[in-house]
Amino acid sequence: VAAARATDLSKVYGQGETQVVALDRITVEFRRAEFTAIMGPSGSGKSTLMHCMAGLDAISSGSARIGETELTGLKDKKLTQLRRDRVGFIFQAFNLLPTLSALENITLPMDIAGRKPDKAWLDRVIQTVGLADRLKHRPNQLSGGQQQRVAVARALASQPEIIFGDEPTGNLDSRAGAEVLGFLRNSVRELGQTVVMVTHDPVAAAYADRVVFLADGRIVDDMAGPTADSVL
Ligand code: ADP
Ligand code: ADP
């Protein structure tokens, strides 16, 4: 079973003269332990696809699944549970709580859910994102790149089935961006995570195993192929 799958997924905003078809019968599968980049011009539907797949936005027709779970028709409570327990997000703004330490930020969603993080997994995640010596620091004591690494660790902590990133390196300089992308890639290869990320940046997309291109709400190209691993 794929980590997530859209089948004939359409998303229409508004109605009548202001109607916009943001996604036009999209079919795409995100396989486990694969790192996919979504590219395309502004307004092509990239964010909408993320939001629909992550259960943040209702779809208009077709199907969106996380694992075997169909999102359409899930009651609010079930949808909240799914977003909390099975999906991770990384946004352009890091969305960290300023009064909490890095470690407290990482475990916060699980604390709220009353779940205990798996200690061994948490240690691996912290090693993978290179934060072992920054756990007690608060966000304002960390660089932008380190703050985004905390957000990556927070998304990984609950071992979600899939992580969605909406321009996760959009606010970072190229060096910090490269670090965060390297950690995302390592989380796919070493921890078996599934990651789908929207990016404008072809250099960022080079970290992915696969690049899906959108234009006008449709998939116009889907390239799986060698990554930089084969040339570095
Ligand atoms: P991208 O992420 O590729 O820039 P979006 O998914 O944000 O594209 O937007 C796709 C289309 O849907 C655009 O035409 C945009 O104007 C429209 N759109 C996005 N969100 C809304 C909304 N909340 N209401 C109306 N139209 C929207
Ligand atoms: P390490 O392998 O020491 O963890 P990095 O953190 O630099 O090294 O890289 C993490 C992953 O990102 C590796 O799979 C690496 O091949 C890949 N990677 C590094 N630099 C680039 C790049 N410029 N473009 C695409 N992928 C890259």
Mean pLDDT, residues 73-91 taken together: 92
pLDDT digits 0-9 by tens, 103-122: 999 999 999 889 998 999 99
Residue 198 alpha carbon, nearest atom of ligand 1: 2
State the Cα–Cα distance between residues 146 and 129, nearest whole angstrom. Answer: 9
- Is the beta carbon of 93 within 6 A of some atom in ligand 2? no
Q: Are 38 and 229 in contact (CB under 8 A)?
A: no
Give residue 225's pLDDT.
67
Mean pLDDT (the chain, rounded): 93
Q: Closest by alpha carbon to 71, among 87, 92, 95, 90?
A: 87
- Is the beta carbon of 134 within 6 A of some atom in ligand 1? no
- Closest C-alpha to ligand 1, atom 7: 47
Q: Closest by alpha carbon to 216, among 49, 1, 37?
A: 49
ipTM comes to: 0.85
**Residue 92 pLDDT > 70:** yes
pLDDT digits 0-9 by tens, 4-54: 999 999 999 999 999 999 999 999 999 999 999 999 999 999 999 999 999
226: pLDDT confidence band, cut at 50, 70 and 90? low
pLDDT digits 0-9 by tens, 125-135: 998 888 999 99
Which structure tokens are listed for 53? 């797949």
Which structure tokens are listed for 31? 């396989």
CA 39 from chain centre, in angstroms, equals 14
* Ligand 2 geometric centre to CA of 227 (Å): 10
**Residue 228 pLDDT > 80:** no
Give residue 113's pLDDT.
87
Sequence letter at residue 78:
K
Q: Closest by alpha carbon to 28, among 72, 57, 65?
A: 65
